[in-house]
Amino acid sequence: MFLLAMGIACGMLLMTSLLGPKRKFADKMEPFECGESQLVSPHQRFSVKFYLVAVLFVLFDIEAIFFFPWAILFRRLGMFGFIEMLLFILILGIGLLYVWKRGGLDWE
Amino acid sequence: MELLIFYPLAGFCVVLALGVVLNNSPVGSAISLIGMMLGLAGIFVLQQAHFLAILQIIIYAGAIMVLFMFVIMLLNLKEGDDTGWIARERNLLLSVLTGLLAVGILYKISGILFTAEMDTPAILPDSFGTVATIGETLFTDFVLPFEVASILLLAAMVGAVVLAKTKLD
Amino acid sequence: MEPILAPESIDLIALAPVIVLSVFAMMVLVLDLWGGRNKTLLVFISLVGLLMTAISAFAKHPLPAYSFNDSYIVDHLSLFFICIFTLSSALTILLSVEYNEREDIRAGEYYALILFCTVGMILLASSTDMIMIFLGIEIVSICLYVLTGIRRNDHRSNEAALKYFLLGAFATGFLLYGMTLVYGSTGSTNLFKIAEFIQNPSAQSNPLLLMGLVLLIIGLGFKVASAPFHMWAPDVYQGAPTPVTAFMAVGPKAAAFAAFFRVFAEAFPEMSPSWETLLSIIAVLSMFVGNLGAIMQTNIKRMLAFSSISHAGYILIAIIAKSSLGSSALLFYMLSYTFMTFGAFGIVIILGRKGEENLEIENYSGLAYKHPIIALSMTIFLLSLGGLPPFAGFVAKFYIFSAAIQEGLLTLVIIAVLNSAISFYYYLKVVVFMYMKESEAEFKISLTPMTLFVILIGVIGTINLGIFPNTIIALASH
């Protein structure tokens, strides 16, 4: 089974490199980096819009960290733990609703 | 065995911490800081503090450092500025004070090391610091702080949007 | 199968004010998203929420009641404080309605943030666990940073918010570090357990614990704007929207004092010699810095900021006295301070118009000839702040001083009386401007009904507490 999968994968790679058409020109020979040009000055001003995203990311990240111990203890906490976490998520859900409606996630 | 992991990790942390201070570009400093935090997380794991290690990686090395990077990018320091702040910090008084502090700390540490007069560490149960133990306390004894934390986060979200949203109305 | 974990001593009735107010705050937040530009509904809901909160606070019997593993307490101190908080938040909202209209503060989050801030204040006054106290302080501070900077197109507002945030974050660091050290050396974050641990004299001399205490004092001292941690206060008071300034001077300050009282009178009474001296120094410094600083101000908001620093000094004396008399003096002082401060800031708001806030003391010249009643009210508030009978400020100060004398703090009382005398200089300066100078320009004041209503409440409260203080004193000294 494993060998079969390996064979197919390698075979596909080999076949495309042998059979595929190749057109070489300058732009294409550059390393590909998400469509961005390679050589730009690293000193570009970032929009303040990134900042809001970063702050919200920190906040939701902190929210997420609380799930780790809860998930591990899920069975032992029983119904109470479930309600507890539900309340926590509900309150932060209102936060998410607010941020969303207020356009905090829009990219203008 | 523990020491075999500890020393490389600690050395890694110290080197990167120096990197934070000595690096010429703020971005370089920030990257060194991320590396150092990862190293610290490793040391936490070694000390059985698993939850702390997770926190260190996800919150600090992840989220907070992203924020740091954005601030650095936002400030947009130019070539000249980069070196400028280093030069300003090469202030004699500051260097002397920091040096004195470092010597003092080293002296104290060496005193402890050579006379071996360490406080005997408290005997902790094996599970101390693991995610499950922290969860047990967090979700039973500290239910109220846990729920209040969500209100704090909510208030912070509102604050972030009110202050940082470019167009508000 | 391991046993199911169940928490102990959950008491939702004791927690009722927090729950009610949080629900209302979230309601305001969500309603604003669909409410459009009309904020009347939000104001109404906020006020109803505050009223319900105050009522629900009395649901718990008998007192004192401990819940959530002894980390949350309902007692007379917390009940009285909750009443002060809801009153001050309601007055802030009343002051804000017309001010926000005038100054073009459109954000509906404004009211939600005030309510969230009040939630934090209630938690601060009711917590007996350092983790809860920390969370309470953070909720209060974050809401205040944002409220300070809510006028986003105003440079002063931005500057004030930034300064407040940076210094506040720094102070929070001190506070948290202090808490960590106390936890490390006593093994608990619960104030009662700490008090129990400290019974042992050998535990008291632990240098880490002492260090922790000092850091706690620095952190809390910053939050109540006491000298030498007062640097932020004048700039922030000046830059914040005026209703927020009034709010800051009363509610969050009272909450921080409540936390101060809880931490030092409940967890560390055994160690009082070590913190009393430090607090006395801070109290004396605050009084002098506040009063001498206020003399030099030409801006009325800055002057009131310095005056509030000096009042922090007087209130600290009540905490140093720490007896039950001290706690009731603290409560009475905070209530009278609420009335006078909101009254005074109400008048500051009335004197301004869109685009020109008229915040210089010179702008008050000749006010008595044009608007005698407003000038008279301002005089009442200022004299009461200075501590002249028959106003509330006098009784409040008298009460604190007698509590302090009973504890043998004579030197402190003498310094405080001396400072009260100094404070008359700058309070009377405004009165002199109002009554004895010619007006330079025509007054174009905004006589808006809700602001006038707040001033009326302030006048009634100030005079009533000054002449008939007995009912409130009886309530405060339960």
- C32 touches A94 (CB < 8 A): no
Q: Which helix H or strand E contains A79, and what residues bound it? A: helix A74-101
| Residues contacting residue C314 through CB under 8 Å, at least 6 positions apart | C283, C287, C333, C397, C400, C416, C419
* Residue A49 binned pLDDT confidence (cut-offs 50, 70, 90): confident
Q: Which residue has the higher pLDDT, B58 or B118?
A: B58
Domain ranges of chain B: 2-124, 130-169
Q: Is the Cβ of B147 closer than 8 Å to some Cβ of chain A?
A: yes
Strand partners, C155: none
Q: Which residue of C18, C19, C23, C33 is the best one to mutate when testing the A interface, meaning the one whose CB has the most A CBs within 10 A?
A: C33
Strand partners, C234: none
User: Do residue C10 and residue B143 have CB atoms under 8 angstroms apart?
Assistant: yes
Candidates B74, B134, B161; nearest CB to A104: B161
Q: Give pLDDT tens digits for B102-137.
A: 898 888 777 767 665 555 556 667 777 788 888 888
Nearest alpha-carbon partner for C244 in C370, C143, C354: C143
Candidates B54, B58, B166; nearest CB to A49: B166
Q: Is the Cβ of A93 closer than 8 Å to some Cβ of chain C?
A: no
Predicted local distance difference test score (pLDDT) of residue A40: 57
Candidates C109, C123, C161; nearest CB to B148: C123
Integer-rounded Cα radius of gyration of chain B: 21
Q: Is the pLDDT of residue A68 over 60?
A: yes
Q: Is the Cβ of B144 closer than 8 Å to some Cβ of chain A?
A: no
Give percent above pLDDT 70 in chain B: 80
User: Do residue B136 and residue A52 have CB atoms under 8 angstroms apart?
Assistant: no
Q: Is the Cβ of B27 closer than 8 Å to some Cβ of chain A?
A: yes
Predicted local distance difference test score (pLDDT) of residue C352: 84
Q: Specify burial of residue C296 (Cβ count, 10 A radius: 0-12, 13-18, 19+).
A: exposed
What tokens were used for B126? 């094996």
| Residues contacting residue C129 through CB under 8 Å, at least 6 positions apart | B145, C69, C70, C71, C72, C189, C190, C191
User: Do residue B145 and residue C135 have CB atoms under 8 angstroms apart?
Assistant: yes
Q: Give pLDDT tens digits for C123-182.
A: 999 999 999 999 999 999 999 999 999 988 888 899 999 999 999 999 999 999 999 999
Could you give phi then psi for residue C315, rounded to 5 degrees? -65, -35
Task: In whole angstroms, give the CA distance from residue C106 to residue C110.
Answer: 8
Predicted local distance difference test score (pLDDT) of residue B127: 73
HEC string of A9-46 equals: HHHHHHHHHHHCCCCCCHHHHCCCCCCCCCCCCCCCCC
Task: In whole angstroms, give the CA distance from residue C72 to residue C69.
Answer: 8
Query: CB contacts < 8 Å between A and B, how many?
Result: 127
- C223 touches C252 (CB < 8 A): yes
Q: Give pLDDT tens digits for B66-102.
A: 888 888 877 766 555 545 555 555 667 778 888 898 8
What tokens were used for B93? 């008084």
- C309 touches C290 (CB < 8 A): yes
User: Do residue B63 and residue A91 have CB atoms under 8 angstroms apart?
Assistant: no
| Residues contacting residue B107 through CB under 8 Å, at least 6 positions apart | none
pTM for this structure? 0.89
User: Do residue A99 and residue B135 have CB atoms under 8 angstroms apart?
Assistant: no
Predicted local distance difference test score (pLDDT) of residue C62: 83
Whichever domain contains A92, its CATH number is 1.20.58.1610
**Which chain B residues are closer than 8 Å to C158 by Cβ?**
none
In a domain, A19, yes or no: no
User: Tell me, what amino acid is at B42?
Assistant: G
Candidates B64, B136, B165; nearest CB to A103: B165
- A89 touches B148 (CB < 8 A): no
Nearest alpha-carbon partner for B65 in B103, B26, B95, B99: B26
Task: In whole angstroms, give the CA distance from residue C348 to residue C355.
Answer: 14
The gap from C-alpha C404 to its chain's centroid, in whole angstroms, comes to: 21
Touching B: A residues 82-101, CB under 8 Å: 84, 87-88, 91-92, 94-95, 98-99
Q: Is the pLDDT of residue A30 over 70?
A: no
User: Do residue B59 and residue A61 have CB atoms under 8 angstroms apart?
Assistant: yes
**Which chain C residues are closer than 8 Å to A76 by Cβ?**
2-5
Predicted local distance difference test score (pLDDT) of residue B147: 92
Q: Is the Cβ of B139 closer than 8 Å to some Cβ of chain A?
A: yes
Other CB atoms within a 10 A radius of the CB of residue B25 amount to 17
Q: Give pLDDT tens digits for C423-460.
A: 999 999 999 999 988 877 777 777 888 999 999 999 99
User: Do residue A44 and residue B73 have CB atoms under 8 angstroms apart?
Assistant: yes
Predicted local distance difference test score (pLDDT) of residue C368: 87
The gap from C-alpha C141 to its chain's centroid, in whole angstroms, comes to: 12
**Which chain C residues are closer than 8 Å to B165 by Cβ?**
none
Task: In whole angstroms, give the CA distance from residue C24 to residue C47.
Answer: 10
User: Do residue B143 and residue C135 have CB atoms under 8 angstroms apart?
Assistant: no
Q: Which residue of C5, C110, C115 is the best one to mutate when testing the A interface, meaning the one whose CB has the most A CBs within 10 A?
A: C5
Q: Is the Cβ of A50 closer than 8 Å to some Cβ of chain B?
A: yes
Shortest distance, CA A38 to any CA of chain B (angstroms) = 18
| Residues contacting residue C459 through CB under 8 Å, at least 6 positions apart | C343, C377, C380, C381
Q: Give pLDDT tens digits for B35-44.
A: 999 999 999 9
Give me the domain span that covers residue A91. Answer: 48-108
HEC string of chain C equals: CCCCCCCCCCCCCCCHHHHHHHHHHHHHHHHHHHHCCCCHHHHHHHHHHHHHHHHHHHHCCCCCEEECCCCEEECHHHHHHHHHHHHHHHHHHHHHHHHHHHHCCCCCHHHHHHHHHHHHHHHHHHECEHHHHHHHHHHHHHHHHHHHCCCCCCHHHHHHHHHHHHHHHHHHHHHHHHHHHHHHHHCCCEHHHHHHHHCCHHHHCCHHHHHHHHHHHHHHHHHCCCCCCCCHHHHHHHHCCHHHHHHHHHHHHHHHHHHHHHHHHHHCHHHHHHHHHHHHHHHHHHHHHHHHHHHCCCEHHHHHHHHHHHHHHHHHHHHHHCCHHHHHHHHHHHHHHHHHHHHHHHHHHHCCECCECCCEHHHHCCHHHHCHHHHHHHHHHHHHHHCCCCCHHHHHHHHHHHHHHHCCCHHHHHHHHHHHHHHHHHHHHHHHHHHHCCCCCCCCCCCCHHHHHHHHHHHHHHHHHHHCCHHHHHHHCC
Give the ipTM of the model, two decimals please: 0.92
Predicted local distance difference test score (pLDDT) of residue C227: 83
Integer-rounded Cα radius of gyration of chain A: 25
- CB crowding A67-100: b at 16 or more within 10 Å, else e: ebbbebbeebbeebbeebbeebeebbebbbebbe
What tokens were used for C374? 């407003």
Q: Tokens 């004192």, residue?
A: C64
Neighbours of chain C (3+ CB pairs under 8 A): A, B
Predicted local distance difference test score (pLDDT) of residue C106: 76
Q: Is the Cβ of C207 closer than 8 Å to some Cβ of chain A?
A: no
**Which chain C residues are closer than 8 Å to A78 by Cβ?**
4-6
Domain count, chain A: 1
Q: Which residue of C146, C157, C164, C165 is the best one to mutate when testing the B interface, meaning the one whose CB has the most B CBs within 10 A?
A: C146
User: Do residue A97 and residue C30 have CB atoms under 8 angstroms apart?
Assistant: yes
Q: Is the Cβ of A74 closer than 8 Å to some Cβ of chain C?
A: no
Length of chain B: 169
**Which chain B residues are closer than 8 Å to C149 by Cβ?**
163
Q: Is the Cβ of B153 closer than 8 Å to some Cβ of chain C?
A: no
Candidates A76, A98, A102; nearest CB to C4: A76
User: Do residue B70 and residue A70 have CB atoms under 8 angstroms apart?
Assistant: no
**Which chain C residues are closer than 8 Å to B161 by Cβ?**
109
How far is CA C144 from each of CA C115, C129, C237, C241, rounded to the nearest angstrom? 11, 23, 11, 11
Q: Which residue has the higher pLDDT, B167 or C186?
A: C186
Neighbours of chain B (3+ CB pairs under 8 A): A, C
Q: B2-124 belongs to which CATH class? A: mainly alpha
In a domain, A52, yes or no: yes
What residue ranges of chain C have pLDDT lower than 50?
A: 1
DSSP B25: S
Q: Specify burial of residue C259 (Cβ count, 10 A radius: 0-12, 13-18, 19+).
A: buried
Could you give phi then psi for residue C66, rounded to 5 degrees? -110, 140
DSSP A108: -
- B130 touches B51 (CB < 8 A): yes
DSSP B119: P
User: Do residue A78 and residue C26 have CB atoms under 8 angstroms apart?
Assistant: no
Give the residue-averaged pLDDT of A16-42. Answer: 65
Least confident of A75-89, B148-162, C282-296: A75-89
How far is CA B42 from each of CA A69, B132, C251, rounded to the nearest angstrom? 19, 19, 44
Q: Is the pLDDT of residue A108 over 80?
A: no
**Which chain C residues are closer than 8 Å to B152 by Cβ?**
135, 138-139, 142
| Mean pLDDT score across all residues of chain B | 81
Task: In whole angstroms, give the CA distance from residue C43 to residue C125.
Answer: 25
User: Do residue C131 and residue B142 have CB atoms under 8 angstroms apart?
Assistant: yes
Predicted local distance difference test score (pLDDT) of residue C116: 96
Q: Specify burial of residue C266 (Cβ count, 10 A radius: 0-12, 13-18, 19+).
A: middle
Predicted local distance difference test score (pLDDT) of residue A93: 94
In a domain, A90, yes or no: yes
Shortest distance, CA B164 to any CA of chain C (angstroms) = 10
